[in-house]
């Protein structure tokens, strides 16, 4: 790396944070069953302890996304969870309502044709906004399983109207400084018409809801041939990109660790963000979050691996020579323009990561330090004993 690119990469890392998800530390599985790990978190304290471990080693994961039904005890002050998070060196990040688990949502939540179910879903989201206020959270992250499986099952336009009304009502509950993120997904569990199936639908819903609503891009929620960085560029240009859920996938929504399949795609996404910042003189405000299902990899190790990969790809994208790139683009010099991206992508940014970690008193190799500390082994022994004491059995139950 040249002194100039080294400086640019280090400066980029200074402002790059990634939020870890509480559910990424607990037992997870596929739709066929759960696969257990002894070190998997049992309760909220465990989840926040694991998140604190990741932040302590990487230095860029100060917040933890939480799921309302999974992480808060009904009737208890949600501020208690906020205090517990601070005890482990992190803060509560995005609040995720749960609008897909209960039986009432078989036919949908915001898109349900029964107004009583829609009111129930809205009440849960209003309660989630109250939790945001109690914990100091800035983001309400919304994903809906709503949709239909068969032609003629419901009126597509009526469901669209229900969603517009509910999202606007929810937006009006937000306090200043709070943002509502609308996520999209092309299919699953709705295989005919998902109510928010792509970024265009999410964009329209967010714009109609109000100025504090933005679009959330999950890198796994796309068909294989989708040009995700083009979507990112459009949302940036419309000032509607609110956040990401980071994962990787081979087919669709596989929730694999970031960069495990296609690191160049993530680099290209980051490049669009850095390019926008270069043109506008400042970096856009974006919530970077992890959303992965660690069924085979050790959970904390997988989270560290993803975060370190995100830092590396973000640093690589930061050193693209935008002047040279624009000069090549102006001449329609396709090869030289492409080579500017390839040059940055194939640059070894290890010196920048090492300098940044040293300056922030972090281990040179977060994963190696995690293993050296024996955190996973200690957590496994402690949590195995606690499960036995609590009488928790873990069979091959359907997930």
Q: Where are the domains of the chain?
A: 3-389
pLDDT at 32: 74
Would you tell me the crossing angle of helices 263-280 and 228-237 to the nearest 10 degrees? Answer: 20
Q: What is the pLDDT of residue 254?
A: 85
**What burial letters (b/e) apply to 170-199, b meaning 16+ CB within 10 Å?**
bbebbeeebbbbbbbbbeeebeebbbbbbb
DSSP 43: S
Give every residue of the chain whose pLDDT is below 50, as ranges: 396-399
Name residue, tokens 């996304």. 65
Which stretches of 15-155 are DSSP H helices?
Answer: 44-58, 68-71, 79-87, 115-135
Q: What is the pLDDT of residue 175?
A: 95
Residue 200's CB is within 10 A of a number of other CB atoms, namely 13
Residues in the chain: 399
Name every residue whose Cβ is closer than 8 Å to that of residue 84 and which is 6 or more positions away in sequence: 44, 45, 48
Neighbours of 211 (CB within 10 A): 11
Dist CA 135 CA 92 (whole Å): 6
Quote the CA–CA distance of 71 and 65 in Å, as a whole number: 10
Q: Is 283 exposed, middle or buried (0-12, 13-18, 19+ CB in 10 A)?
A: middle
Task: Check residue 395 and give its pLDDT.
Answer: 60
CA distances from 230 to 177, 322, 332 (A): 28, 18, 19
| Distant-in-sequence, close-in-space partners of 289: CB < 8 Å, separation ≥ 6 | 18, 19, 20, 21, 65, 93, 94, 141, 243, 244, 245, 246
Q: Give me the CATH code for the 3-389 domain, please.
A: 3.20.20.150
- Name residue 92's beta-bridge partners: 64
Local structure of 359: helix, strand or coil: helix
| Distance of alpha carbon 250 from alpha carbon 92, whole angstroms | 31
Cα–Cα distance for residue pair 305/299, rounded to 1 Å? 10
How far apart, in whole angstroms, are the C-alpha atoms of residue 323 and residue 83? 47
**pTM of the model as a whole:** 0.95
> Could you tell me the end-to-end alpha-carbon distance of the chain, in angstroms, rounded to an integer?
48
């Amino acid at each position: 790396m040249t002194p100039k690119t080294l400086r640019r990469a280090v400066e980029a890392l200074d402002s790059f944070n990634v939020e870890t998800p509480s559910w990424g530390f607990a037992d997870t599985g596929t739709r066929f069953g759960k696969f257990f790990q002894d070190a998997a978190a049992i309760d909220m304290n465990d989840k926040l302890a694991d998140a604190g471990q990741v932040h302590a080693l990487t230095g860029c994961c100060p917040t933890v996304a939480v799921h309302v039904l999974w992480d808060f005890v009904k009737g208890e002050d949600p501020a208690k969870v906020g205090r517990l998070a601070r005890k482990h060196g992190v803060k509560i990040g995005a609040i995720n309502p749960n609008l897909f688990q209960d039986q009432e949502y078989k036919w949908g939540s915001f898109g349900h044709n029964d107004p009583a179910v829609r009111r129930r879903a809205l009440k849960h989201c209003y309660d989630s906004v109250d939790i945001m206020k109690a914990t100091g959270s800035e983001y309400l992250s919304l994903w809906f399983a709503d949709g239909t499986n068969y032609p003629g099952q419901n009126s597509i336009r009526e469901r669209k109207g229900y969603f517009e009304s509910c999202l606007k009502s929810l937006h009006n509950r937000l306090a200043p400084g709070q943002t509502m993120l609308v996520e999209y997904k092309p299919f699953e569990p709705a295989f005919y018409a998902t109510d928010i199936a792509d970024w265009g639908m999410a964009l329209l819903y967010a714009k109609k809801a109000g100025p504090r609503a933005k679009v959330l891009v999950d890198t796994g929620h796309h068909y294989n041939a989708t040009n995700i960085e083009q979507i990112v560029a459009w949302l940036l240009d419309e000032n509607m990109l609110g956040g990401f859920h980071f994962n990787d996938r081979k087919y669709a929504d596989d929730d694999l660790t970031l960069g495990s399949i296609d690191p160049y795609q993530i680099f290209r996404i980051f490049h669009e963000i850095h390019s926008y910042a270069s043109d506008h003189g400042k970096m856009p405000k974006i919530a970077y979050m992890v959303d992965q299902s660690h069924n085979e990899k050790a959970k904390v190790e997988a989270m560290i691996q993803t975060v370190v990969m995100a830092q590396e790809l973000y640093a690589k994208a930061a050193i693209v020579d935008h002047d040279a790139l624009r000069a090549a683009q102006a001449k329609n010099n396709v090869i030289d323009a492409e080579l500017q991206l390839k040059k940055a992508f194939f640059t070894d940014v290890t010196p920048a990561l090492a300098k940044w970690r040293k300056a922030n008193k972090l281990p040179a190799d977060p994963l190696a330090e995690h293993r050296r500390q024996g955190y996973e082994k200690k957590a496994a022994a402690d949590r195995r004993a606690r499960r036995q004491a609590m009488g928790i059995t873990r069979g091959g139950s359907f997930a």
